[in-house]
């Protein structure tokens, strides 16, 4: 299935109106089966489905690492990914209660996850980053996606070091985009500690949860955070940078990781 579809629209401009072609992102329903139990259906973009499934399961705390996985099989035509773990564990009831997750909403039992991570998974990292590093990464990030330029209907996420993008994914859902990056890192055994996550969407509490589970110390967004997102970033020791536009940005938490011009060499 293609990531976007070409449609005929009626376009109105200052110069007139008439038929025109437009690219619209594709929406896809993916069902994840976990240890022979249909777990959840995600509404997503129809790409990197294995990565999305594994990233979602990791974000839910059902898969900790690649070593947990016995088998991962994707059937893109049927919209299914089967995941089996070596221990055959059952899914948490909280996930089962939310069988269909829309592209724009959070996923899983986040309130419980927030409580758990608040006490047990504070991110410890000596990583620092300069404002120029942040501006440079966001500039790369905004130019990275051909699909975004074609449709303007997609979210993106990227794992980076201080100078370049390491893993990048697009999706119609901002949560799915992060899960695809996380899934790729887990399946390919790409380290996430002392890295930076750059995202396109609003930074709410569940986004911090996904980042904290991977021990990522810096989260950067071109959009804004929620108040609970900022509180959680402080509690979890994550540097949260938002509203990065041109040469402006807001540092909402963890300011000590952002090097000032005077300290750069």
Active site residues: 105
**179 touches 111 (CB < 8 A):** no
User: DSSP readout, 9-76?
Assistant: EEEEETTEEEEEEEEEE--EEEEEEESSSEEEEEEE-SS-HHHHHHHHHHHTTS--SGGGEEEEEEET
- C-alpha distances (whole Å) from 58 to each of 17, 23, 65, 66, 153 are 48, 32, 8, 10, 26
CA distance readout (Å), 233 to 197, 208, 226:
13, 6, 11
Q: How far apart are CA 17 and CA 37, in angstroms?
A: 51
State the angle between helix axes of 205-213 and 174-188 in degrees (0 to 180), rounded to the nearest 10.
0
Cα 184 to chain centroid, rounded:
11
3-state secondary structure of 5: strand
Q: What angle do the packed helices 110-120 and 227-236 form, to 10 degrees?
A: 30
């Amino acid at each position: 299935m293609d990531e976007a579809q070409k449609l005929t629209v009626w376009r109105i401009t200052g110069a007139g109106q008439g038929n025109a072609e437009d690219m619209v992102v594709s929406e896809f329903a993916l069902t994840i089966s976990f240890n022979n139990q249909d777990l959840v259906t995600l509404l997503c973009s129809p790409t990197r489905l294995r990565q999305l499934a594994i990233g979602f399961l990791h974000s839910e705390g059902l898969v900790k690492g690649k070593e947990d996985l016995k088998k991962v099989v994707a059937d893109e035509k049927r919209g299914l990914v089967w995941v089996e773990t070596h221990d055959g564990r059952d899914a948490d009831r909280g996930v089962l209660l939310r069988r269909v997750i829309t592209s724009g909403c959070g996923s899983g039992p986040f309130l419980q996850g927030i409580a758990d991570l608040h006490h047990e998974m504070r991110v410890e990292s000596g990583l620092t980053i300069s404002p120029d590093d942040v501006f440079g990464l966001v500039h790369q990030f905004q130019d990275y996606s051909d699909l975004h330029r074609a449709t303007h209907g997609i979210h993106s996420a990227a794992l980076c070091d201080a100078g370049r993008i390491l893993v990048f994914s697009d999706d119609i859902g901002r949560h799915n985009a992060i899960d695809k990056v996380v899934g790729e890192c887990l399946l390919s055994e790409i380290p996430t500690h002392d890295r930076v996550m750059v995202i396109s969407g609003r930074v709410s509490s569940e986004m911090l949860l996904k980042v904290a589970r991977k021990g990522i110390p810096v989260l950067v967004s071109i959009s804004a955070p929620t108040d609970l997102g900022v509180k959680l970033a402080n509690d979890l020791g994550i540097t949260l940078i938002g509203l990065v536009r041109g040469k402006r940005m807001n540092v909402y938490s963890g300011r000590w990781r952002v090097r000032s011009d005077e300290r750069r060499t």
